Homo-oligomer: A and B are copies of this chain.
Amino acid sequence: MAVELFELVGDDDRRFSPYCWRARMALAHKGIEADYIPVGFTEKDRIAFSGQQLVPVLRDGEKIVSDSWEIACYLEDAYPDHPTLFGGAIGRGQARFFHEWAPHMSAPIMRTMLKDIFDRVRPEDRDYFRASRKARFGKTLEELNATRGDYRDAIDKGVAPLRALLTYQPFLCGDAPAYADYILFGHFQTAAIMSPEIFVAPGDALYEWCEKLRDLFGGLGRQFGGMPD
């Protein structure tokens, strides 16, 4: 049986979860063929077999792994002869930092585009999305959207170290991409797929980096609904 990855889906087959992009890129980096199974916000029954409620979920034969970090570690350890995601123990240790840092880096971007996401989730998931964000932020999507322009400085501040790094070298992991690149890339994929707002533009080192990552694995990062031309 092929490896299966269960991942979040929006309207128009948009695969938009940053965490699912991590797993998707990790599988491609390892050269592992997989079936990608879409799961809407209100289809948690489809991953009930995993014993928890969040995507991504990986099923590899009898093995079931949830949580993007655990999936990366599983793939690295179960497929040691495939291209490495971490480059050894030090690389793995450092990569975990980006798992912790990514939500801080991306929070102002995600905060800005909540209404854009709402507009692009499946129609049957919109009530769920609206209620869950109200619970998380204490405000309606419309109230949150009204202040979206307030986050421009925070966005620039959040990405500043990554932007500086990518001015120095082509990838976070050096001359070639590896898992830590994919950790952060997922958030920019979410933004590109779910929002018409331009968060990174040509001439920005972040833009060039995103474009190179989208070109990998036969243009995997461009094959989904919602990607700009």
Contact = CB atoms under 8 A, between A and B. Distances in A.
Interface string A145-173: 00000000000000011101100110111
A100 interface: yes
Contact of A96 (B88, B89, B168): B168
A9 to B, nearest CB: 29
Interface string A86-104: 1111111111111011001
B161 A93 contact: no
Interface string A162-190: 10110011011111101010000000000
A87 B91 CA distance: 7
Nearest to A101: B161
Interface in A73-118: 84, 86-98, 100-101, 104
Given A89-B87, A104-B161, A95 B94 contact: yes
Interface in A190-204: none
Contacts of A90: 84, 86-88, 91, 173-174, 178, 180
A175 B89 contact: yes
A172 B93 contact: yes
Interface residues of A, number: 32
A89 to B, nearest CB: 5
A182 B116 CA distance: 41
A84 B88 CA distance: 12
A96 B170 CA distance: 12
B87 A165 contact: no
Contacts of A104: 160-161
A31 B68 CA distance: 37
Interface of A: 84, 86-98, 100-101, 104, 160-162, 164-165, 168-169, 171-176, 178, 180
Given A90-B173, A90-B180, A97-B165, 12 more contacts: A84-B90, A87-B87, A88-B91, A92-B174, A93-B173, A93-B175, A94-B95, A94-B98, A94-B172, A96-B169, A101-B101, A104-B161
10 contacts: A91-B91, A92-B174, A96-B168, A97-B161, A97-B180, A100-B162, A100-B165, A101-B161, A104-B160, A104-B161
